[in-house]
Amino acid sequence: MESATLLQNVWFLLIGVLLAGYSVLDGFDLGIGALFPFLARTEDEKRALAGAIGPVWDGNEVWLLAGGGALFAAFPMAYATVFSGFYLALMLVLFALVLRAVSLEFRVHDPARKKLWEAAFVGGSVLPALLFGVALGNVVGGVPLDARTEFAGTFFTLLRPLPLVFGVLGLCAFLLHGSAYAALKTEGPIRERARRAARLAAAATGVAFVVSFVSVWIYLPAAIRSVPAWIFSGLVGLSLALFLAALRKGKDGRALFFSSAVFLSLWGVVGAIQYPDLVRAKDPALSLTVANASSSPLTLKVMLIIALIGMPLVVGYTIFAYRVFKGKVRPGDAGY
């Protein structure tokens, strides 16, 4: 097997950082959207919950665009295979994200159909949260590729046990993160409901992680020999335990920190069992790896320079936005 260069490994790590950053930042608003009908009962509570994510959700999605752009620039063969093979699933995700975005505005300005737009907001949050995990499960578990590295299956090929388990785990993690953020940003009854939801989501995430661990053991036994994967798996369990401890002490900010740590640790597990593959094929000889699917060294160098200039701007804007909109959200403060 061809060995990867330093630049190729750097881009593998950078894309992982971008995707992990997206899951941490956009994860809580997808989770809040999925929990919307369970956390908010009155119109004031709905306005408060929508206002908690309203000022930041669109900035969060910059990280997803950056991750997709980085994959296209650094590993175009993997980008082409994933986006052509998973075309229907990714179009469903895109449609759901668009519908979710417009529903936040339409529920305010189209009161006659407010219930419809709220349902669109919930559905547009649940579907991506589930399908992101399913897509990742297929990349990790392996997909049928032909000699031209083109996807040789159908939409239903993607709905196998391991990817579905990953999808459920991803959805549970989003619910965990969303409930933690809701508890931090709100007060009163909605905050207490968010804390109860967080405890349930933590239990569900723990169970889903154990099931996914066993599934990987069954379908990818070689992955179990990865020492870094065991280390990150331990960090998942530790983060969940510290998350529950923070909830018991009423430390909502600390709980959000540890729900973020759960996400980052999950990405660590995935990276550890996936490397050096980008898209694992059923026939290992056809797998797209960090070494055989990358752009030219010159492209990687130029893109790295651009990333080193652009990433601090993205991080700086993200920090600035959250500092401006920090604190509790009250119904009177929200325009949603």
pLDDT at 43 over 90: no
Q: How far apart are CA 308 and CA 296, in angstroms?
A: 18
Q: How far is CA 312 from the centre of its chain?
A: 21
Which residues are CB-contacts of 166 (< 8 A; sequence separation ≥ 6)?
133, 134, 136, 137, 140, 141, 212
Query: What local confidence, expressed as pLDDT, does residue 334 receive?
Result: 54
With 0-12 / 13-18 / 19 or more C-beta atoms within 10 angstroms meaning exposed / middle / buried, residue 216 is buried
Can you name the residues that pair with 222 across neighbouring β-strands? none
Share of the chain above pLDDT 90, in %: 54
* Dist CA 31 CA 122 (whole Å): 9
Q: Please check the confidence at residue 302 and state whether its pLDDT lies above 90.
A: yes
Q: Domain limits of the chain?
A: 6-326
- For residue 279, the cross-strand partners are 288
120 with 99: CB under 8 angstroms?
Answer: yes
Per residue in 170-213, pLDDT (tens digit) is 999 999 999 999 999 998 899 999 999 999 999 999 999 999 99
User: How far is it, in rounded angstroms, from Cα 206 to Cα 200?
Assistant: 10
pLDDT at res. 335: 55
| Tens-digit pLDDT profile for residues 260-293 | 999 999 999 999 999 999 999 988 888 999 998 9
In whole angstroms, give the CA distance from residue 292 to residue 288.
6
Supply the pLDDT for residue 328: 84
* Among 18-32, 64-78, 144-158, 203-217, the least confident range: 144-158
Return the pLDDT at 331: 61
pLDDT in tens, 216-244: 999 988 888 889 999 999 999 999 999 99
Query: CATH fold of 6-326, please?
Result: Formate dehydrogenase/DMSO reductase fold (1.20.1630)
4, two tokens: 């990867």
pTM strictly above 0.95: no
